[in-house]
Amino acid sequence: MKHTQAKLIFAGVISAAAIAVALDHNRQQLPIAEDLLASQQAVIIIDEGEAMPAENNDECSKPVASSRSAAPCSL
Amino acid sequence: MNNSNEHATYWSLNLLDLLQQMAEKNSNAVLEVLQGIDRLESERRYPDAGLLFADNQWRAFYHCHKDNLVHPDEHGHFHLFTDIGDQQWAHVAGLSIDANGQPLQWFMVNRWVTDGPWLGHELFLDKLNAVTADASNETLLGQWLASMLQLYNGSLPALLKDRDKALALKSKDKSLHDKGLKDKEQNEAMEDRDIYTLATLEINLQKMLEQNLLNKPVITQQQNQSNKKVAPRSVE
Amino acid sequence: MRSTVKTSPVDQPVVLMVSVAVLVIALFVQQSIATVQSLTFVIGVALGISLMHAAFGFSGSWRLFIRERDARGIRAQLLLLGLTSLLFFPVIGQVFPSIQAGAALAPVGISVIVGAFLFGIGMQLGGGCGSGTLFTMGQGQVDMLITLSFFIVGATLGSAHLHWWLALPGLGSISVIEQFGWWQSLLLQLCVLLVLYVLVQYMDRRRNVKQNNIEWRAPPGETTQRFIHGQWPLFWGVFALAILNFSTLLVAGHPWSITYAFGLWGAKIWAAVGGDPGSWVYWSSGYPAQSLNSSVLADTTSVMDFGIILGALLAAALAGKFAPAMKITRMRIFTAVVGGLLLGYGARLGFGCNIGALVAGISSGSLHGWLWLVAGFSGGIFGVYVRIWLKVDKPMAA
């Protein structure tokens, strides 16, 4: 192996290592995403004698698709 | 060096510089967008209105889904949109990110996922080629997104073509698979909620940067052996 | 008087590029990690220059002694151990309470014996030890690139198996400083080193008519030239390595080590290609887990290793010896691969290499360092015979 070949190989290896170190240096752990629905609990005030809202109305007990989930990744 | 090599080298160096600027702050692309946020919530967009970048011609947001529909190792993904006039923004691609803030893959989704106008692949080429990353005007994240778009400006149009082909193949009318979809069948396929991801392109930043920056030369064997003595080696 | 220095033209472009790279990296590490980390990088560069300019190796000198009883290199290593112990023992013995520094302690057990023995064989096959592999690779010797690559593979494999080896019988970590007091154990250790020094010198003089003397200083008028362009007297190497190791102890809080980084790099590479080293026992807790999930520049050993490579590169360019032309035969590739694997696996099991276990262990009063020396040298003897069997070397004279 000639001197210039050795130089080229070595330069390539050092450069590849430098790129790997640069990419590794950019790795930072991201926070874990919490469930949006669980974090937003609705408070329902019920007067004495009133039934729970969902018990009376079949329509309300059906799951309602939010406009967001219709196109979950829209702008 | 021809133009495409210069282009690749320029944007590779640009990206490396941005990565180091972010690393100096113990940050990366996703942490940049989450600055000042107390708690990361799934399904929420960050920033809510989308980040404008590349001379306000592009817009992006980041979010996480409860279920990893796009990639099993994904933490979340960016969605990138481009301005097509009349205050309309067309979705171009998604960019999956892993738990360490590193890009995993580009992906294309069906129209119902992002809603909005749907444009063919050929119209995106000019948009992609015109992406800029002006350090004086843009945030680090904006420049990073622009650099990623430019580095993949050869692959993304092809991925968009794959998207269209995949959509055609998924049409229920198999006779149209080779001929291309007619409007009605195309609309049906685009609203089919069973079809989420249409095409993906894995990202290997290390490999790509090495290819662009090292331009590994071809070493040819000399026919005549040198008569010089081998240089002295260290004793180790 | 005719100069004794053999000169080759300085590789000026490489000198310039490496000097700029060292400056840029030092500043970058200082900005993005800490000033202390940047200092350890600079110490690494100085170590690389010293190793290269003094040609301070362990493998070659062990082989010379085993084959020809030429004890120069081994005597230099014993001097290094003595000088480093003199510097380390008071600090680790808490004579200066304001200096926080830890010893290189490791369990005395089967893991160290097997690891050091394998490492000793690897030294002879791979063409270098821990420090030797780094500085010869830094010089641009392409075959040592192969050794280093498989060193990394071996170290990573070793980290996957280490918990199994540690479950085998052992005595735990033993510090002679804690057992006997710092100056008492220092005195005892220096006596042992002196006995070994006299013994190997006796064996040398008995076998060899020509006196194999350690060069203590440069010939008159050559000091500056040698300092810059290399061919340091061996004692300069001893002195520089001792001082720089002590500097590492003061700055980083622990002695100079090398091979932890190789396992870390291997684990990170494995993770990058889809593996899950974080689920292995070794990488799942403590400092290993922390370093796996942090930037490689936050790991002192890695930063120092980068410094050694660049320092050796700079020194080689100043000496006109960068990237020598060489023949790489199939046998050389074979020995580099096998040697590298043994070096890496052995270093992980043995809690370090010639620097991290032998020098750091002995100099900081850990008994495992002495065990490493005995097992490692035994492996070296075995390795010399393997080289003869493979016809890499001629048989020894009767």
Angle at B236 between CA B232 and CA C2, to 5 degrees: 45
Identify the chains in contact with C, defined as 3+ C-beta pairs within 8 A.
Answer: A, B
* Residue C306 belongs to domain spanning: 12-389
Mean pLDDT of B167-172: 74
Residues of B in contact with A75 (CB under 8 A): 50, 59, 61, 79, 81, 89, 91, 114, 116
What confidence tens digit (pLDDT) does each residue in C257-297 have? Answer: 999 999 999 999 999 888 899 999 999 988 999 899 889 99
Letter string b/e over residues C305-314, b meaning 16 or more CB atoms within 10 A of that residue's CB: bbbbbbbbbb
Neighbours of A32 (CB within 10 A): 11
pLDDT for position B224: 32
Neighbours of C194 (CB within 10 A): 12
Cβ of B79 within 8 Å of Cβ of A71? The answer is no
pLDDT for position C291: 92
What is the count of structural domains for chain C?
1
The token duo for C339 is 């040697």
Which residue from B127, B120, B50, B38 is spatially nearest to B84, judged by alpha carbons?
A: B127
- Contact B236/C at CB under 8 A: yes
What confidence tens digit (pLDDT) does each residue in B87-110 have? Answer: 889 999 999 999 999 999 999 999
The domain segmentation of chain B, as residue ranges, is 3-153+200-214
Q: Is C175 helix (H, G, I), strand (E, B) or coil?
A: strand
Q: Is residue A72 part of a domain?
A: no
Q: Is residue C4 part of a domain?
A: no
The token duo for B200 is 């993906």
pLDDT at C110 over 70: yes
d(CA A3, CA A6): 5
Which residue type, as a one-letter code, is found at position B82?
T
What confidence tens digit (pLDDT) does each residue in C129-140 have? Answer: 999 999 999 999
- Contact B226/C at CB under 8 A: yes
Q: Is residue A8 part of a domain?
A: yes
Q: Is residue A7 part of a domain?
A: yes
Q: Is residue C3 part of a domain?
A: no
pTM of the model: 0.83
Name which of A1, A21, A24 is nearest C328 (Cβ-Cβ).
A1
What is the count of structural domains for chain A?
1
CA distance C297 to chain A (A): 7
* Residue A5 belongs to domain spanning: 1-25
Residues of B in contact with C8 (CB under 8 A): 231
Q: Which residues contact C142 (CB under 8 A, 6 or more apart)?
A: A1, A6, A9, A10, C323, C326, C328
Name which of C32, C140, C297 is nearest A10 (Cβ-Cβ).
C140
Q: Is B1 helix (H, G, I), strand (E, B) or coil?
A: coil
Q: Is residue A15 part of a domain?
A: yes
Q: Is residue A19 part of a domain?
A: yes
CA B18 to chain centroid: 16
Q: Which residues contact A26 (CB under 8 A, 6 or more apart)?
A: B19, B20, B22, B23, B28, B101, B102, C295
Residues of B in contact with A71 (CB under 8 A): 112-115
d(CA C374, CA C126): 20
| Backbone phi and psi for residue B75, each to the nearest 5 degrees, phi listed first | -90, -45
What confidence tens digit (pLDDT) does each residue in B114-154 have? Answer: 988 887 777 788 888 888 888 888 899 999 999 999 999 88
pLDDT for position B232: 35
Name which of B206, B230, B234 is nearest C55 (Cβ-Cβ).
B234
pLDDT category at C146 given cuts 50, 70, 90 is very high
- Give ipTM to 2 decimals: 0.83
Q: Is residue C339 part of a domain?
A: yes
